[in-house]
Structure 1
């Protein structure tokens, strides 16, 4: 038979576990769903995989609720799985009650419809075909006011390029460590296949450089957020874009934080950008508590 003294270790253990269980119960339960879907492209005559993250309440709800959508583009050499493999982006779907879509943009497409490689039509694919597919297959709020696009590095360039060329589709856009001036990336393997020879087609390179088209944001009326690490090789071109936007009076958020061209920086930056987009959606009348169809 156990004596009262023998019970003391169990009492101490109970005293230790009680607050631990309380912490576990208080911790958020991340129950987002991640799906891989195949999205066809009529422009490129093939299908590409994409990652779609649905918030927990998408499945738990009545089936009538509809959600804003944030598109996140990968960088050069990446693919549709980069964001979910290297960050905890899925938690942001639960936190802000949004659908996240990460399409495949090819290894070196720059998300444009290249006149030099007519088989590379990634602006049409991401800006039109992917958006149409997602709206047809998921319960989205299919308006520009509840749709945003961002990306990292090459994807940052692509997000801004697509948003400028498709203002009817995207009411908000962002860039993280964006290659906003591809003229600084002439040594990138394969880039001349998309932009053409930089010597003989310099006008095309210049025409597509985001830093040279800052005035386009004035006309597009896009909620805009841009950030770059202070140790990033692209920081100067991002500063140039920021300064031009200020001179033009274009409203935008701009941030520089410690960090370089790394997943450590990008996994932190995406949290700020999704918050920015969720705030933009709410300014346009959306609220998670009242987003029934």
Structure 2
């Protein structure tokens, strides 16, 4: 005989199990190797609940900002696990170093993150997970330094990424000659101004043609990077490059990025489904 108390306990157990099943993404922390930098690098890989080797899944690469690491997104915005489930995509959060800006640095072999992410990490993910291995199933976005990195990598490697985004991206490096560790990967602005010009995303729009890349980016109206993002938007308009650009109230904060990723994940899901 089941008592009322026992009935409530069992009901709670079944309800909890059901709720967990709704959003039951699997979070892996993997150790990858970079031959370019001769070191092992961690990454978070989120697999949706429906993940199976019998099916190929699209992948969203999600980059952290300056002074962050691979665990930032999953620790500070754990709801990205739900986004993996809802949109049935694998989400990869790489480690981009304290201040790599996702370049292949001409200054030091210790900062070869363009090669690492766009060659070594993609190769690792595609060989260890059941993924769509062409640009139709691959997108990249990030916040702040990672927003710059996502556009930088996608603009330079249109053959790899079909869609790209940026949240509060540092899309123009030139206003910060003494900040955010940029000089350690490019050298001093006063000595190597051409490097800073060539590697600022805002000066790389020429690499794009209309519809060559699905683009989404946003920035808070109170963000110190707002004007640079607005200028990038205007440059894209000048060249007739389709894109989604959104301005919302907010500053350079995790509250803002935790909200922003929801809209960007929807955008990338629409891209993945359109491409099928």
TM > 0.5: yes
Equivalent in 244, 263, 266 of residue 257 of structure 2: 266
Equivalent in 220, 225, 240 of residue 229 of structure 1: 220
Cα RMSD (Å) of the superposition? 2.0
Taking the aligned partners of 2:236 and 2:210, their CA distance within structure 1 comes to 12
Is 1:167–1:220's contact at 8 Å kept on the other side of the alignment? no
Aligned residues: 265
Is 2:211–2:241's contact at 8 Å kept on the other side of the alignment? no
Is 1:164–1:220's contact at 8 Å kept on the other side of the alignment? no
Whose helix fraction is larger, Structure 1's or Structure 2's? Answer: 1
**Equivalence map 1:1-293=2 (5 Å):** 29-58=22-51, 61=52, 63-87=53-77, 88-218=79-209, 221-285=212-276
1:165-214 deviation per Cα after TM superposition (whole angstroms, max 9, x unaligned): 11111011000100000112223242211121111211110111111122
1:223-255 deviation per Cα after TM superposition (whole angstroms, max 9, x unaligned): 010111111000100000001101110000100
Greater CA radius of gyration, 1 or 2?
A: 1
Is 1:40–1:48's contact at 8 Å kept on the other side of the alignment? yes
Q: Structure 1 residues 220 and 40 mapped into 2: Cα distance closer, same or farther (>3 Å)?
A: farther
Taking the aligned partners of 1:158 and 1:254, their CA distance within structure 2 comes to 17
Once the two structures are TM-superposed, the CA of residue 258 in structure 1 deviates from its matched residue by: 0.9
Taking the aligned partners of 1:178 and 1:219, their CA distance within structure 2 comes to 21
Give unmatched runs, 5+ long, in structure 1.
1-9, 286-293
Is 1:71–1:100's contact at 8 Å kept on the other side of the alignment? yes
Structure 1 SS opposite 2:169: coil
Q: Return structure 1 stretches of 4+ with deviation > 6 angstroms.
A: 21-28
Give unmatched runs, 5+ long, in structure 2.
none
Taking the aligned partners of 1:94 and 1:40, their CA distance within structure 2 comes to 28
